[in-house]
Chains A and B, each alone.
Chain A
Amino acid sequence: GAVVSQHPSWVICKSGTSVKIECRSLDFQATTMFWYRQFPKQSLMLMATSNEGSKATYEQGVEKDKFLINHASLTLSTLTVTSAHPEDSSFYICSASHTGSGEKLFFGSGTQLSVL
């Protein structure tokens, strides 16, 4: 199947710093990518829909100025957690929609963010 690469797998940062997470579709072009966060023993919560060449669409309650999403190319979307705080510690997962396979979503392996 199609491959989505997400980096880094884990990151530890100090409170107040910014962290960038990359999501790449390796063998297909993804017009649309999605960003999720997941707390321990909970389901995935959709944060935003990232569309290539346009502004991201954020879900209700997600601060767009805190979670900056850029989708500058058909194979790369980035999520930047700005001025991170301990409550932002979570598992962040991206997914890309593959039009050529019935609009399946392929997921990255996730990024565990720990803010000290």
Chain B
Amino acid sequence: DAKTTQPTSMDCAEGRAANLPCNHSTISGNEYVYWYRQIHSQGPQYIIHGLKNNETNEMASLIITEDRKSSTLILPHATLRDTAVYYCIVRAIAGKSTFGDGTTLTVKP
């Protein structure tokens, strides 16, 4: 599975958009980009995923570059409850999911 690189930590003001970047330069053509988040001592929660088109759901938006080597997760209006570790994963259908170190997002009042 391709590796991903994310910044270790980021801060965001409450109510502002949080933009979390992810590099996945060795992604294969059949691998999707998935985003999960983990709040302390809980199992990860699915946020969004995509192959090459930008995606949006009720939680977030996912922007994937045209060459698919990087992506950005956007939380449009961050709240204090969005404070968590965010993981970007690339995975093929029926493939295994290997987690990198993730980004610790801290939303501040």
Please report A residues at the B interface, Cβ cutoff 8 Å: 1, 4, 6, 32, 34, 36, 43-46, 49, 91, 93, 95, 97, 102-110, 112
Contact = CB atoms under 8 A, between A and B. Distances in A.
B97 A34 contact: yes
B102 A43 contact: yes
Contact of B94 (A32, A91, A93, A110): A32
17 contacts: A32-B94, A43-B87, A43-B101, A46-B97, A49-B96, A91-B41, A95-B43, A95-B44, A95-B97, A104-B34, A105-B46, A106-B46, A107-B36, A107-B44, A109-B43, A110-B43, A112-B41
Given A34-B97, A97-B94, A44 B44 contact: yes
Interface size class of B (residues with CB under 8 A): 20 to 34
Given A46-B98, A46-B99, A105 B42 contact: no
- Secondary structure of the B side of the interface? loop
B43 A43 contact: no
A105 B97 contact: yes
Contacts, number: 55
B105 to A, nearest CB: 15
A100 to B, nearest CB: 12
B93 A103 contact: yes
